């Protein structure tokens, strides 16, 4: 078992930019097959479609202001 003391914060592409707090995955736990993250994005955020090569679980919280 591994203790994850804090997520790794990432500013990601998109319009407007979004912030991702990765709890487990490539950056925080060195696991290339999994991503568990909390994504914070502004209302009407968009980005091109993606096809990740890993299992991705994201919590999305939309802000309206």
**18-30 residues labelled b (16+ CB within 10 A) or e (exposed):** bebbbbbbeebbe
> Is the pLDDT confidence value at 64 over 70?
no
The DSSP element (H or E) to which 12 belongs, if any, is strand 8-12
Write down the pTM of the prediction: 0.62
For the chain, the structural domain boundaries read 1-45
Q: What is the mean pLDDT of residues 41-61?
A: 71
Cβ contact 18:45 at 8 Å: yes
Q: What is the pLDDT of residues 2-35, one digit of tens each?
A: 788 899 998 877 777 778 888 888 888 888 888 8
Percent share of the chain, pLDDT over 70: 78
> Is the pLDDT confidence value at 63 over 70?
no
């Amino acid at each position: 078992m591994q203790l994850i003391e804090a997520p790794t914060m990432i500013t990601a592409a998109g319009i407007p930019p979004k912030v991702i707090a990765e709890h487990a995955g490539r950056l925080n736990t060195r696991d290339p097959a999994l991503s568990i993250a909390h994504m914070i994005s502004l209302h009407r955020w968009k980005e091109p479609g993606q096809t990740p090569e890993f299992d991705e679980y994201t919590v999305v919280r939309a802000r309206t202001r």
